[in-house]
Chains A and B, each alone.
Chain A
């Protein structure tokens, strides 16, 4: 075991809003209410059309593995005993990509295009991280 605390997001501003939805077990990304484009990471204005207005639109929760790495030698003390672990980039059906992990897949079994769906990991009472598992095949809102 390591005594170092795992790094946590700063739960303020737009990041705080993203994670507040996760705490309610809802995966939501920003969507421009003018040009209807989805975006992540959170931004104050739409890079496509310049609009200030947006909504936290609910994701289907479904996506595919886009790329990943398998950490054999952790660089942060809080993850010293976690190896091997595999941070992944998930490409959501909505088109946005998000860093996460696939909880029920051994690193050696990860493949580009692997279908996954969101699950929620209540790390602390304040923080819930969106993670993913292999897709069961059905479609339901997250």
Chain B
């Protein structure tokens, strides 16, 4: 069987403005349709040519999106339940579909009123009941007031600090680097608001060791992609970005954070080697990485688990500007969920495509040819996608 390497491309990207609005102006569907139209235009397609839709779990159904786009013959739809790892997983499924002739042009949309609507941080029992591990959280975490992702994941950050001597300044280095990247991104909500490590250390504690500046930025917005076969992409307007490798992974057990034999294991622990093998790349080939960043330590943890450094050395790895603008491995060149906007990790793919097309303006990573995008969902599910410049 032929490798899926390079058989499909991201042929179009689109997104809305990212905001922190007082009230929503429309529904989640409004945002997703705006992003979808922009992506379709970017690819140089007509809406009716889209024949596959992979919508985000729990937001809008493919049927609703299709009817608004006038897609009379929707040939393919499927939804990933990997939470923040879903964008990468969906792009992978879309790639398999177009490479095998199941669909021609697959739309992958995602977005929400994550600030003006119900806030991202307000996880309630009804939400967790729908997610992987939700029943465990409901029955064994919530009664003790352990109700929110910032609390769950801060416990793993603490364990890392206790085990390896990782310091608050290391977590802060991630926040400062992402904010520095955001200063060069006109779409970033926190452009014009640079921070120093002292600002980080002075920010209020939310769930110790996590401070306010360890947390991603609740935001409103949507993004969308068009995935097309490499063959068809040649006829389209935008410079197509080839999908070189992809994989999913899960920690074990995936549905409970605290009882893993290996408490630092993540989906990307398993997925990275698979994705890199398909893409035929090594770590040294990676020009930039867009790492799903719900909180600062989860960036350090993923870099370790992906093998960019040894476990326990992630704090030192991110220190000293290595992941900042101009660093050896720029991470979250748009500012990430921490400083651009929390748009479900969709915005990580928007940025990776811009970098690989050479359209990233003042933040362009010089000569970028290989970019890696991760997703992190629920209790640590992972996706890894390797994209190329096509050059």
Chain A interface (Cβ < 8 Å from any Cβ of B): 6-10, 15, 40-41, 47, 66-76, 78-79, 82, 85, 87, 89, 96-101, 107, 112, 123, 127, 129
Contact = CB atoms under 8 A, between A and B. Distances in A.
Contacts of B122: 75-76
Given A7-B138, A10-B138, A74 B208 contact: no
Interface string B154-169: 1110110010000000
Given A69-B154, A99-B140, A41 B256 contact: yes
Interface string B61-102: 000000000000000000000000000000000000000000
Contacts of A41: 136, 139-140, 256, 259
Contacts of A98: 140, 258
B288 to A, nearest CB: 32
Contacts of A89: 155, 258
Contacts of B145: 6, 71, 74, 76, 78-79, 82, 85, 87
Pick the most buried of B140, B141, B156, B206: most chain A CB atoms within 10 A of its CB. B140
Pick the most buried of B135, B145, B208: most chain A CB atoms within 10 A of its CB. B145
Contacts of B124: 76
B343 interface: no
B144 A100 contact: yes
B106 interface: no
B205 interface: yes
Interface string B251-287: 0010010110001000000000000000000000000
Contacts of B138: 7, 9-10
A89 B141 CA distance: 10
A72 B204 contact: yes
A40 B140 CA distance: 10
Interface string B133-154: 0011011111111111011001
Contacts of B232: none
B123 interface: yes
B207 A72 contact: yes
Given A6-B143, A76-B142, A70 B208 contact: yes
Given A47-B253, A76-B148, A67 B162 contact: yes
B139 A73 contact: no
A72 B125 CA distance: 21
Contacts of B155: 67-69, 87, 89
Contacts of A96: 259
Contacts of A7: 125, 138, 142-143, 147
Given A7-B142, A70-B208, A76-B142, A99 B258 contact: yes
A112 B204 CA distance: 24
Contacts of A79: 145, 147
A69 B158 contact: yes
B361 to A, nearest CB: 36
Given A97-B258, A101-B144, A9 B207 contact: no
Contacts of A97: 258-259
Nearest to A101: B144
B264 to A, nearest CB: 11
Nearest to B123: A75
B147 A112 contact: no
